[in-house]
Amino acid sequence: MASVRALLPGARALLPGARGRVWLPSRFPTLRPFTARANFEYIVTEKKGKNSSVGLIRLNRPKALNALCNGLIEELNQALEAFEEDPDVGAIVLTGGDKAFAAGADIKEMQNQTFQDCYSSKFLSHWDQLTRVKKPVIAAVNGFALGGGCELAMMCDIIYAGEKAQFGQPEILLGTIPGAGGTQRLTRAVGKSLAMEMVLTGDRISAQDAKQAGLVSKVFPVEKLVEEAIQCAEKIASNSKIITAMAKESVNAAFEMTLTEGNKLEKKLFYSTFATDDRREGMAAFVEKRKANFKNH
């Protein structure tokens, strides 16, 4: 949840767009029309891949190490919604810059919040939209993924890391604790002991340690990271979108259900694939030794 930019050399707390006011999440602005290259203030979006089947979202507050201000989260949510509704897009890549994926939440935006403000306005609840996207989301993490940045990466379905990436939950150093899933998702990803150590000390782990612990799928050279993430997203997007959504739902259920309940859901979703044209096409293509032509039905 919190940022450690105050603890990083040369980092300054910036608050562009806040106009000196404390934001409460109950005040949502009117959404602007979206295009693949919409003129956002805090993010950059485009479609990638041979068939423009990958939606790329790049966090773009480099002077603030991509600190997650409210305006950035609102724009991220708008971009996610647009790519979710785009029939050509089958997967999404979320990345930042070489120095920072996101160094945390913007502390100046939250330092004057009271308990009443946080509780009554469900502070940070709008961060969860990423977890409700049906299309697979790959986090491509270079540099710092700290506090809210680490939490944002863990909301994604797959995490690829650059070899110099660092992950951490340093909120304890600021007198608070993670508030956007850090204590919960990190523990499920790396186990209690390492998660407890990271949360209680504020220590960071390297990309290599994150991979060994199970937080990260693969580690790549910094300059190749985003390209590799896009290639993975393209491969995912070549499959049936409706079947991919079912597969994602089933895997995610493993974090919410008992083994017995999860197996029951898996069976129901498995049976559901037999009501789709794409399941018929996929099996027919296999038998006929040809490439499947999925129609997402």
- The secondary structure of 38-79 as a DSSP string is ---SSEEEEEESTTS-EEEEEE--GGGTT-B-HHHHHHHHHH
In the residue annotation, 245 being an active-site residue is answered as: no
Report pLDDT for 21.
40
Tell me if residue 206 falls in helix, strand or coil. strand
Q: Could you tell me the pTM of the whole model? A: 0.84
Check 90, 96, 148, 202 and give the catalytic one. 148
**What one-character-per-residue DSSP string does 258-294 give?**
-HHHHHHHHHHHHHHHTTSHHHHHHHHHHHTTS----
Report pLDDT for 9.
44
Tell me, what DSSP letter sits at residue 105? B
Tell me, what DSSP letter sits at residue 250? H
Check 74, 75, 109, 171 and give the catalytic one. 171
Rounded distance between C-alpha atoms, residue 99 and residue 174, angstroms: 22
Rounded distance between C-alpha atoms, residue 127 and residue 3, angstroms: 15
> E-assigned strands of 108-155?
137-141, 144-146
Rounded distance between C-alpha atoms, residue 212 and residue 206, angstroms: 10
Q: Which two tokens stand for residue 150?
A: 């680490």
| Strand order across the 100-102 sheet | 100-102, 144-146, 166-168, 204-206
Q: Give ∠ CA 149-211-250 in degrees, rounded to 5.
A: 80
Check 79, 105, 165, 189 and give the catalytic one. 105
Q: Which two tokens stand for residue 191?
A: 């186990």
In the residue annotation, 148 being an active-site residue is answered as: yes
List the one residue out of 262, 256, 296 whose CA is nearest residue 279. Answer: 296
100 forms beta bridges with: 144
28: CB partners within 8 A, 6+ apart: 74, 126
Report pLDDT for 125.
77
Check 75, 109, 151, 228 and give the catalytic one. 151
Per-residue pLDDT of the chain (297 residues; tens, 9 = 90+): 554 444 444 444 433 444 344 444 444 344 444 555 568 999 999 999 999 999 999 999 999 999 999 899 999 999 999 999 999 999 999 999 999 999 988 788 787 878 888 788 777 778 888 999 999 999 999 999 999 999 999 999 999 999 999 999 999 999 999 988 999 999 999 999 999 999 999 999 999 999 999 999 999 999 999 999 999 999 999 999 999 999 999 999 999 999 999 999 999 999 999 999 999 999 999 999 999 999 988
153 forms beta bridges with: none
In the residue annotation, 105 being an active-site residue is answered as: yes
Give the H or E element holding residue 159.
strand 158-162
In the residue annotation, 228 being an active-site residue is answered as: no
User: With contact defined as beta carbons under 8 Å apart, do 12 and 5 qualify?
Assistant: yes
